[in-house]
């Protein structure tokens, strides 16, 4: 009986260690996620699975122009380690739900940049952006200009006419950029 209990305890410890390691890797190194919605068409499709590097989030560094990022759209509230834990794929699987606050977007501008949208086109620091990834021309809207504050990025979806992005939610703090697509 003693040998049996030792064997069970060894299995329990191994499984617990594997779960902890899986959660830590998913929180700090990389994780799979799913695209929800059509805001990144034609680059990414609704329900497509992608993998993201979490290193930018872990070390709080600025993503580069054109990077496809996962963001927490709740930019008006601070993020905590609890948010990172609850967004882990294993925890989401247990809770059986996707988080509708996680958006997949493209970085258009970084700290200090000026973004202007006029005549359905995007200008970065006065220069028209070449955006071959955009699905279709933007619907006309009144011209708008933003200056990205320090520690933030400006993101847009590739399907501009069907995307909730920085035009609506505002600038995204670095700690709300949860990962960069591989």
- Annotation marks residue 163 as catalytic: no
> Which H or E run contains 49?
strand 49-53
54, 56, 73, 105: which one is catalytic? 105
Residues 6+ apart with CB under 8 A from 64: 107, 110
Give Cα separations from 121 to 112, 127, 157 (angstroms).
20, 10, 13
Can 54 be counted among the known catalytic residues?
A: no
DSSP 83-125: HHHHTSHHHHHHHT---TTEEEEEEEE-TT-EEEEETTEEEET
The token pair that represents 90 in the structure block? 């294993």
Question: Of these residues, 39, 56, 163, 166, which one is catalytic?
Answer: 39
Active site amino acids: 39, 105
């Amino acid at each position: 009986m003693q040998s049996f209990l030792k064997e069970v305890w060894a299995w329990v410890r191994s499984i617990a260690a594997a779960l902890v390691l899986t959660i830590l890797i998913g929180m700090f190194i990389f994780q799979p996620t799913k695209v929800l919605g059509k805001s990144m068409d034609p680059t990414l499709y609704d329900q497509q699975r992608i993998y993201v590097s979490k290193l930018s989030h872990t070390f709080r560094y600025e993503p580069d122009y054109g990077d496809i990022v996962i963001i927490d759209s709740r930019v008006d509230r601070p993020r905590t380690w609890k948010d990172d834990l609850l967004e882990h794929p294993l925890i989401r699987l247990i809770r059986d739900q996707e988080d509708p606050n996680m958006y997949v977007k493209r970085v258009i501008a970084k700290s200090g940049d000026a973004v202007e949208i006029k005549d359905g086109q995007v200008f970065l620091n006065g220069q028209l952006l070449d955006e071959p990834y955009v699905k279709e021309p933007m619907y006309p809207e009144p011209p708008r200009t933003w200056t990205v504050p320090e520690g933030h990025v400006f993101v847009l979806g590739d399907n501009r006419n069907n995307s909730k992005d920085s035009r609506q939610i505002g600038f995204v703090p670095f700690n709300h950029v949860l990962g960069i697509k591989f």
